[in-house]
Structure 1
Amino acid sequence: MSFVKIFASLLLLASPFVLANPVSLNPSPPLSPEQIQQPYPEVSITRLHSAKELIAAFDTHDYRLKVVKQSNMLPSYFVENLPSDLNELPVSQKTSAFIRLLLPTIKAVNRDILQIRDELQTLSAKPKSQWSEAERLWLQSLADTYAVKSGAIAELLLHIDVIPAGMVLAQGIDESGWGTSYFAITGNNLYGEHLPHNGGKFLTTPGGHVKVAAFDNLYQSTASYMHNLNTTLAYKELRQLRQQLRLQKKLTGDELVQSLLHYSTRGQAYVDNLRALIKRHHLDDFDSAKLTESDSIRYRFARRAKG
């Protein structure tokens, strides 16, 4: 195994925020979100048994979408997995509950991506002759993770960027049926991801003809989906459009979904439906909301057997 790969492996074993022996970069080099093994705050877990209990908990803490829009502040209330009974709620409650339970996770994954972008931009401002060995190895590990052969920071920044919350919510809604599909409930797969070529946990369709990726929690599912968009050749146009929209200060879900023609066999009809969801439920309104850093809560529903 090469020294670069050994270093990358050591990164995977480190804390998501602090390396055991930090060198040069400040703060220590952040991991790509899909590599973080324990992404949640170290707080006690509140165990719930139904969607109604989750709604009651949100309401008790005054976590309401109207409040988020007015304040642009989003509480760090992380729901690790889905309740099995969202479909039993009235439509208005189901839609509000799904958006509220997923939004902090989306913001957390995007926050972790932005930490990497910030480090890359800081590194790019330094002459290469002043880069430490740790910085060079971290840069190479990112290039490997994001399939950027050149290893150039400018190319990495094209790949390592956020996905607007409105677009993530819309795809999660469409692909999981508002969090009610079998694969979403049983495998935390909200975005219709198939099993990647390098393997991993999976569920199968009836008859076992298709393997669908399964995840331990909603953070890992969301991080994997974003990594797919940020690395796969099929979404090269998405990354180029995102860069353009960022420069124009127009990076929104409504704008970026036009690049998802290849995400579904439904093509343009899929894109049109995502745009309709974004507009109908005002999903782009949450892009500017900031995740709070205090008073975190973790919610977890009883585990369900994975088929």
Structure 2
Amino acid sequence: MRKFVAALIVLFLVVGFAVLFTQGPDPVIPAKKVEPEVVKPVEVAPKQAWELAGVPDFPAIGDVRLKKKTFFNYILPLVTQENTRILSQREQLLSLSGKGTFSENEQALLNAVAKEYRLKTSFDEKWFQEALLRVDALPPSLALAQAANESGWGGSRFAREGNNYFGQWCFSKGCGLVPGSRTSGMNHEVQKFDDVGESVRAYIRNLNTHAQYASLRELRANARDSQMTVSGAYLAQGLGKYSERGGEYVDEIVRMINGNNLQRHDSQPTTAKL
């Protein structure tokens, strides 16, 4: 009996090992493919020109006094920066006005001034007289009042989308923003600028060069000759052709200067003249 049991055990062991070595490896079950979750990108509205330029959101300022203060504090340094550049040019012209011949660098300077201020290149005494009528600073009060008026305190479409704070026009297709109220047959656009500083520079250059503002430049020269403060309210008298509203526009600019005490920003008299 014992022999029979032992034989049976041996038989089971032999059969078990035979089955173990004859079976193949466990089948590989492929992992279930997990599709990555598709995350929809968050739609972000493109930034407006005023945001890209770091301009305060003027329309969002509800307090009128705070809005005005914020507006003037933003525009004033840009006007001051451009005036400083122009006065530096003026001093260079004054230093060269009595010379008969010019060095290569001086000639390059004069050529650059002539191009910027739309002057011929004769560089004689008459040229310097006309150049010094044009190459001069503008009273900050005038620029501040016009910027506020033309841009609706920074809230107009042209200010927010085109950095245009002075209503400058351009005349090539695509150069700016088409006014919604443009008269049929007209082709002007409201010029777009890369930043507000560029708008300030174009505005001052316009008043310093355009034939329509020759009277403004004469008023400024007369104030200098009389050693008067070149005030914005005084020079505003030369803005009759800036707007179709003519004298009404001039009166409004003067009221804005006086009502906001902007004349306090105007420079003191200077004796720098030809």
Alignment TM-score, normalising by the size of structure 1 = 0.63
Following superposition, the deviation at residue 128 of structure 1 comes to 1.9
Highest relative contact order (Cα 8 Å, sep 6+), 1 or 2? Answer: 1
Identity %: 35
Q: 1:260 aligns with which of 235, 239, 250?
A: 239
Shift, 1:228, TM fit: 0.6
CA deviation digits over 1:157-205, x for unaligned, max 9? 11111110000001001101111101011111000100156x8841222
Residues 81 and 205 (structure 1), Cα distance of their counterparts in 2 relative to 1, 3 Å cut: farther
Query: Residue 277 of structure 1 aligns with which residue?
Result: 256
Q: How far, CA to CA, are the matches of 1:219 and 1:275 in structure 2? A: 23
Amino acid in the other structure paired with 2:90: R
Distance 1:196 1:227 in 2: 17
Partner of 1:128: 100
Pick the aligned partner of 1:189 from 164, 187, 196. 164
Residue 245 of structure 1 and its aligned partner are, at CA, apart by 1.1
Offset from partner CA, 1:247-292 (integer Å, 9 cap, x none) = 2223100110011000000111100000000001000101249xxx
Q: How many residues align?
A: 210
Instruction: Give structure 1 regions of 4+ aligned residues with deviation exceeding 3 angstroms.
Output: 207-210
Structure with bigger gyration radius: 2
**Match in the other structure for 1:92:** 65
CA–CA separation in structure 2 for the residues paired with 1:203 and 1:223: 19
How far, CA to CA, are the matches of 1:81 and 1:189 in structure 2? 14
Gaps of 5+ in 1: 1-48, 52-78, 290-307
Q: CA deviation at 1:154?
A: 1.9
1:147 to partner: Cα distance = 1.6
Show structure 2 runs of 5+ residues with no match: 1-47, 269-274
Q: For residues 200 and 141 of structure 1, do their structure 2 counterparts lie closer, same or farther at Cα, with a shift above 3 Å needed?
A: farther
TM-score, structure 2 normalization: 0.71
Alpha carbons 1:195, 1:211 under 8 Å: kept: yes
- Give 1:110's match in structure 2, choosing from 83, 100, 103: 83
2:200 to 178, 203, 222: 222
Distance 2:199 2:58 in 1: 20
Which stretch shifts more, 232-241 or 208-217? 208-217
Indicate the SS of the match to 1:128. coil
Counting strand residues as a fraction of each chain, which structure ranks higher?
A: 1
Partner of 1:212 in structure 2? 190
Offset at residue 206 of structure 1 (A): 2.8
Q: 1:141 aligns with which of 112, 135, 139?
A: 112
| Counterparts in 2 of 1:85 and 1:124: CA distance versus 1, 3 Å | closer
Inter-CA distance 200–251: structure 2 relative to 1 (3 Å threshold): farther
Q: Compute the displacement of 1:87 (Å).
A: 4.7
Of residues 142, 150, 160, the one that matches 1:175 is: 150
CA RMSD of aligned residues (A): 2.4
Aligned equivalent of 1:301: none
Return the offset for 1:81.
4.6
